[in-house]
C-alpha cells in the first residue's frame, strides 16, 4: 500500500499554516474570480479554496493562479478522481474534498496537488490514516458534532489536525481555532453571496480584515 509522502504532508501543513481562515469560494460569474480573490488577499487571507460547486470552478482556478501567484490557490468540492485530475491540470496547489472514497485517497497519495480529505466520522478518518494522512477537513462541522466532536477525536488521534468547515460563523471560528488539533477554519461567511453579486470588493476586503481581527 502506497503511503503519503512527507513532502505532501508538508505541503498541506504549509497551506493550513498560511492562514487561519480559508474562504469557501463559489464563482457564479467567471469575471468575479480574480477581483474577489484579490480582495480576500488584500484583507490578509492568502489561502483560497475555489470550489467546483459551479461550472466556473476549474477556469477560475486557472485565472487566479495566473493573476495572484503569491496566494495558495486550491480546489474544493472535488468528488471524483476525474475532477481531481482536472483541477490538478488547472494548477490547483491543494485539493479539498467534502468526503472520502478509497479511489480519491489513493489518487491523492500520488498527486502533485496534495489532498485535504473531508471526513465526518472516525471510520472515515481511519481510512485516510491508514494511508498516512494526518490532516483532514472536518465537514459538515456544526452538524457533525462541532467543537465537542473534535475534542473527542483528539483522544485516539492526538497526531491528527483538522480544518473544520460547514456551518461555522465569524463569531464561532475562534472557538474552533482554540482547539489544539485545529489549524485553520473554512467558511463561506467571508464571501457573502449578496456582496459578491454587488461586486463590492472593498467590503470583501473589510470582512476578511475584521474576521482575522476577531480571532
How distant is the alpha carbon of residue 98 from its chain centre?
A: 10
3-state SS, residue 7:
helix
Interatomic CA distance for residues 176 and 97, integer angstroms = 20
Q: In what order do the strands lie in the sheet with 95-96?
A: 115-116, 95-96, 72-76, 47-51, 21-25, 185-187
Q: Is 49 considered catalytic here? A: yes
Q: Is 83 considered catalytic here? A: no
Q: Of the residues 83, 88, 135, 137, which is catalytic? A: 137
Q: Of the residues 31, 49, 102, 142, which is catalytic? A: 49
Helix residue spans in the chain (DSSP H) = 6-18, 33-42, 57-67, 81-90, 102-110, 122-130, 146-153, 173-177, 193-197, 201-214
Q: Which residues carry out catalysis?
A: 49, 137
Amino acid at each position: 500500500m502506497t503511503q503519503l509522502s512527507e513532502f505532501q504532508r508538508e505541503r498541506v501543513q504549509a497551506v493550513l499554516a498560511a492562514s487561519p481562515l480559508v474562504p469557501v469560494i463559489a464563482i457564479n460569474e467567471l469575471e468575479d474570480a480574480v477581483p474577489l480573490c484579490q480582495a480576500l488577499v488584500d484583507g490578509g487571507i492568502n489561502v483560497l479554496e475555489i470550489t467546483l460547486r459551479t461550472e466556473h470552478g476549474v477556469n477560475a482556478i486557472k485565472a487566479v493562479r495566473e493573476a495572484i501567484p503569491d496566494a495558495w490557490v486550491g480546489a474544493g468540492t472535488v468528488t471524483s478522481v476525474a475532477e481531481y485530475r482536472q483541477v490538478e491540470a488547472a494548477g490547483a496547489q491543494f485539493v479539498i474534498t467534502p468526503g472520502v472514497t478509497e479511489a480519491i485517497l489513493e489518487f491523492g497519495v500520488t498527486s502533485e496537488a496534495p489532498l485535504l480529505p473531508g471526513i465526518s466520522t472516525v471510520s472515515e478518518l481511519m481510512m485516510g490514516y491508514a494511508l498516512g494522512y494526518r490532516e483532514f477537513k472536518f465537514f459538515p462541522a456544526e452538524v457533525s458534532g462541532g467543537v465537542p466532536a473534535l475534542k473527542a477525536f483528539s483522544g485516539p488521534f492526538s497526531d491528527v489536525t483538522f480544518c473544520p468547515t460547514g456551518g461555522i460563523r465569524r463569531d464561532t471560528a475562534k472557538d474552533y481555532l482554540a482547539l489544539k488539533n485545529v489549524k485553520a477554519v473554512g467558511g463561506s461567511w467571508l464571501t457573502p453571496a449578496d456582496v459578491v453579486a454587488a461586486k463590492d470588493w472593498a467590503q470583501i476586503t473589510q470582512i476578511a480584515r475584521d474576521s482575522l481581527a476577531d480571532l
